[in-house]
Structure 1
């Protein structure tokens, strides 16, 4: 076993204490009176949207922030398939929203920021892209940044902020005001792309147009990355893997807040239960509300040219999870979704609680496993609301809902995709708590939701 969280915090010292940000996400201490079958209408029933975009409770409304193919302020187009997002405090009370785009393989540039045949790519140099591709066929994923005025509910500007990556699905905010964006794909160079993919990248939260340095953080592993969450006390980064045989990872950086300085990648294992299968597919290995002591296994050869990190980690004793997806830090814990977990393979929400000063082990709790598609179907992206509830986006086969879960485990419906069966993605609150941003992915829409949030339990 490697260094513990407690030892790392002691080693990090004042550096970790200097972290700022994420303040609205971490204030509520959750209770654990789990009741996953209790449905609560915390904000009231959903009302049909006359415009047919998003059904919301009475008093709430949405505004379309941007659409696929909108022309941005830097002259590029808004790419397609908006996915994971996070917000940061911007200048003059504005909100900086960084947005992923899950655009995958070559499609002639039509879904990218650069238009048909990548014509606009010539505005940039090859060094601005992580992967410029073979014969000018750059990676079409990446991130865009939206500067938003929540007081007037207006876009100030939007621009491309990372170029040349592939299938940027989710990620997570850091306490040092950046977004970690994750490639949900593993591939070697071929006749289309010139570089290997399957990495994470860091994008600074800036209000002025500009591109992040496209440097992969290879020490954080090469696998089918999904999301990350950062413990603001220690700077440790937790990572999910979108694979039916995936692991749950953590990255201990050599220097807190400087991920490119290198670090140690580890996988979660259950104490005295090596190679636990948490998926609950064939048998109920973990009960809802059950808490497990966990430890961490050091991983070797994390660049994994054979894409076998999950297999090697499992053989060494790591626990197996059913498609780890959305992840967020809040309520002094890390919540993460496993999209296909549970007896009916309809999803699980887990809660990882880092060890306190007097505790030997971190704790892992199966927070919610409804096994009922009318409650939650295939949880994906998630976030923690300012008052402590978890908001969960669905990526199922039929109607798609935005669900709320109280810290006690009560589930309620907050929104419904009324325009299509597209997955919902990227739910995240503005730093001032006034606005919930979210994507309707296949429609290429980013929306901002406002309303009487003070109806929520435990607000303020």
Structure 2
């Protein structure tokens, strides 16, 4: 593994879900992981810290819980369900993408698996809602957000959330809005404010706009559902701020964190200060920043698309370090990191597995169990 050394300047303090990056913290840098160094790869090719164990829970094209697991597993989330929990996963393939779910019993065994969305295309990332639905996002021209029901119910398209090349979604219950990333080289960060919180059938779509320095503001997108020949959402407001390849999105403690793979940056939108700051500026060796999630402790977990095929932790005190690495899968990417409701298990996928083929039929979905900080 290449040694990770980097420093990135921060222009503002950033709040982490109850923990604070104080003004005195001047940089984010590689350091010792709070879990210790990675050990040798296990039988599944996972390198983990001492005290952590991993297993494969599903493989694309193979039976799991009564269904064939989908190809190219991508964005995911966990939902509590009785004494167990559910992990949902998108399928990033054309025309037959959709999403599936695995229901786990309290002891971690698999009870069943089932489809929760079909007939959609290139379902990349998404986001969980406070009312226990999964927003599955289409990463296609004029793509839509589909609200699905992991606990049971009918999936519905939510065109009011915009027609563009969607990537991820993050719910902000404090301000009753949902942040949306866009996977374009000049993509934008959007904010959808439902007319009624909990009902995504109507609402207002805004785009983040630049003022001066790190200061930003939101302006309404005139036509959130443009036709094929109409001006795309990211080009409708001249002051819109653009990000190169928007990817993962996570909200916690007044801050929306999102990644941009084109410039390898992790951004933080501070809702109180109305600023956007790069907390990791891409000058180091954290490669291919992609999906992102977090914990109440304030820790962020960033998955790599390529790079060393690692999941890295970014701690509130400014340390970045790998917490998991997949060996022998350089042609793949890590997707869908999500913690079980009790915080003891981390789920994620290798979209193309050891094969590296573009159809994603070699996808593998994993579980890591251990003493994660909560």
**How high is the TM-score relative to the length of structure 2?**
0.87
Cross-structure match for 1:102:
92
Q: Cα distance, 1:311 vs. partner?
A: 4.5
1:212 is displaced (CA, Å) by 3.0
Secondary structure of 1:259 counterpart: strand
- Name which of 399, 402, 405 aligns with 2:311: 402
Q: Give the corresponding residue for 2:132.
A: 177
**Residue correspondences, number:** 346
Q: Tell me which residue corresponds to 1:352.
A: 269
Query: Structure 1 segments of 4 or more deviating over 4 A?
Result: none
Match for residue 369 of structure 1?
281
**Is 1:448 aligned to residue 371 of structure 2?**
no
Indicate if the aligned counterparts of 2:98 and 2:120 stay in contact, CA closer than 8 A.
Answer: yes
DSSP-derived class of the 1:30 partner: strand
2:162 aligns with 221
Q: Please say if residues 240 and 324 of structure 1, whose CA atoms lie closer than 8 Å, have aligned partners that are also in contact.
A: yes
**Secondary structure of the structure 2 residue equivalent to 1:383:** strand
Determine which of 331, 353, 358 is the counterpart of 2:253: 331
Structure 2 gap segments, 5+ residues each: 1-15, 354-362
Over 3 Å counting, the alpha-carbon distance change for 1:34 and 1:437 in structure 2 is farther
- Does residue 200 in structure 1 map to residue 191 in structure 2? no
- Taking a change above 3 Å as real, the CA distance of residues 311 and 168 of structure 1, as seen in their structure-2 partners, is closer
Q: Contact 1:334–1:352 at 8 Å: present in 2 too? A: yes
Secondary structure of the residue aligned to 1:230 is strand
Give the equivalent residue in structure 2 for 1:415.
Answer: 324
1:49 is displaced (CA, Å) by 1.7
The C-alpha deviation readout for 1:19-67, integer Å capped at 9, x for no partner, is xxxxxxx853332425222423221111112314211111111111111
**Alignment partner, residue 20 of structure 2:** 30
Distance 1:314 1:322, change over 3 A: farther
Q: Distance in 2 between matches of 1:299 and 1:41?
A: 42
After superposition, the Cα gap between the structure-2 partners of 1:442 and 1:308, relative to the gap in structure 1 and judged at 3 Å, is farther
The answer to whether residue 12 in structure 2 is matched with residue 57 in structure 1 is: no
Deviation at 1:370, TM superposition (A): 3.7
Counterpart residue number, 2:359: none
Structure 1 equivalent of residue 77 of structure 2: 86
State yes or no: 1:434 paired with 2:357.
no
User: For the pair shown, which has the larger CA radius of gyration, 1 or 2?
Assistant: 1
Please list the CA deviations of residues 283-311 of structure 1 after superposition, one character each: whole Å capped at 9, or x if unmatched.
xxx7xxxxx23211111121122374245
1:364, distance to aligned residue in structure 2 (A): 1.9
SS at match of 1:57: coil
Describe the shift of the 1:452–1:60 C-alpha distance in structure 2 as closer, same or farther (beyond 3 A): same
2:67 & 2:150 partners in 1: Cα distance?
Answer: 19
Following superposition of structure 1 onto structure 2, how do residues 286-297 of structure 1 map, counting pairs within 5 Å?
Answer: 292-297=214-219
Equivalent positions of 1:92-241 (< 5 A) are 93-104=83-94, 139-149=95-105, 151-186=106-141, 198-206=143-151, 212-213=154-155, 215-241=156-182
Query: CA 1:29–1:313 in structure 2 vs 1: closer, same or farther (change >3 Å)?
Result: farther
Which residue does 1:340 correspond to in 2? 262
More helix by share: 1
Structure 1: gaps of 5 or more residues: 1-25, 105-138, 187-196, 274-285, 287-291, 342-346, 356-360
Q: Is the 8 A contact 2:287 2:308 kept in 1?
A: no
TM-score (norm 1): 0.72
What do residues 392-446 of structure 1 show as CA deviations (whole Å, max 9, x unaligned)?
Answer: 00013x4311111012331001111113111001111111111111111112111
1:302 aligns with 2:224: yes
Contact in 1 for aligned 2:250/2:294 (Cα 8 Å): yes
Aligned-residue offset at 1:362? 2.4
- State the alpha-carbon separation in 1 of the partners of residues 325 and 218 from structure 2: 38
Tell me how far apart the structure 2 counterparts of residues 448 and 34 of structure 1 sit (CA, whole Å): 35
1:248 matches 2:189: yes
